[in-house]
């Protein structure tokens, strides 16, 4: 009888331990889950340039931009455009010439605000750019009119092709008004890197930079932007407990 009593008390304990062991064994790795993040590619036009062109008659400029979301709030940026200028000064110094150029800039934007969700693409940016402009200036004709010292005969400065390089620091923001459509602005500080290229007669206007006779300029862009988006998946292995 004593043996049967021991079996009666010990058997439930043994069954409980066996059940716990079986439960522990059911914890195992399963197929990795996928964390959804987003791709975004945007195309922008600087809507401020046509307005400036209308008010400043001697120059014309047009600028465009595209950026792609990389990861961790970083965007790769490419910008470009073209423009021209006409100089026709009269007065004590008569000066006439034309210039035109195209340019390209490349760099990065860094969003300084954390996105609230995968679908949140509003941003406040800081960034940097390296720009290069390819400039053509026609021959410049000039003469000095002076009633006291007499007139200087008309002279000619030969036509010249320039390549200008500059560095930029940028800051700005953009906001999604309706799905895929943004408005935003960017403020730029620009610093000419090869000032010696413009020593003879610097063009009065270089699209993408500004006045080539200044080593540092500040500029402003107001962008209208359209975004293309698609999903991507990053594998993140996890373990789950199977009941």
Query: Each residue of 203-221: pLDDT tens digit?
Result: 999 999 999 989 999 999 9
Query: Each residue of 138-197: pLDDT tens digit?
Result: 998 877 666 555 556 667 888 989 899 999 999 999 999 999 999 999 999 999 999 888
Buried b (16+ CB within 10 A) or exposed e, 53-85: eeeeeebbbbbebebebeeeeebebebbbbbbb
In a domain, 115, yes or no: yes
CATH number at residue 182: 2.40.160
Domain span at residue 71? 33-235
In a domain, 240, yes or no: no
Q: How far apart are CA 74 and CA 64, in angstroms?
A: 20
Q: What is the dihedral of CA 14, 16, 22, 26, to 10 degrees?
A: -160
In a domain, 28, yes or no: no
In a domain, 52, yes or no: yes
pLDDT at 20: 47
């Amino acid at each position: 009888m004593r043996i049967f009593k021991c079996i009666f008390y010990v058997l439930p304990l043994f069954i409980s331990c066996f059940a716990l062991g079986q439960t522990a064994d059911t914890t195992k790795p399963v197929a990795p889950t996928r964390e959804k993040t987003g791709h975004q590619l945007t195309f922008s036009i600087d809507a401020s340039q046509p307005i400036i062109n209308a008010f400043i008659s001697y120059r014309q400029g047009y600028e465009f931009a595209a950026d792609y979301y990389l990861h961790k709030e970083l965007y790769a940026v490419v910008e470009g455009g073209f423009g021209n200028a006409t100089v026709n000064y009269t007065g004590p110094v008569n000066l006439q010439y034309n210039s035109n150029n195209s340019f390209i800039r490349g760099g990065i934007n860094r969003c300084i605000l954390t996105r609230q969700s995968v679908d949140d693409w509003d941003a406040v940016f800081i960034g940097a750019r390296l720009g290069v402009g390819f400039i053509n200036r026609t021959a410049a004709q000039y003469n000095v009119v002076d009633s006291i010292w007499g007139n200087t005969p008309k002279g000619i400065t030969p036509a010249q092709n320039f390549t200008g390089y500059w560095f930029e620091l940028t800051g700005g923001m953009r906001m999604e008004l309706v799905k895929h459509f943004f408005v935003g602005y960017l403020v730029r500080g620009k610093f000419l890197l090869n000032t010696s290229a413009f020593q003879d007669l610097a063009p009065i206007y270089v699209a993408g930079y500004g006045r080539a006779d200044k080593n540092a300029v500040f500029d402003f862009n107001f962008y209208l932007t359209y975004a293309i988006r698609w999903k991507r998946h990053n594998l993140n292995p996890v373990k789950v407990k199977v009941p």
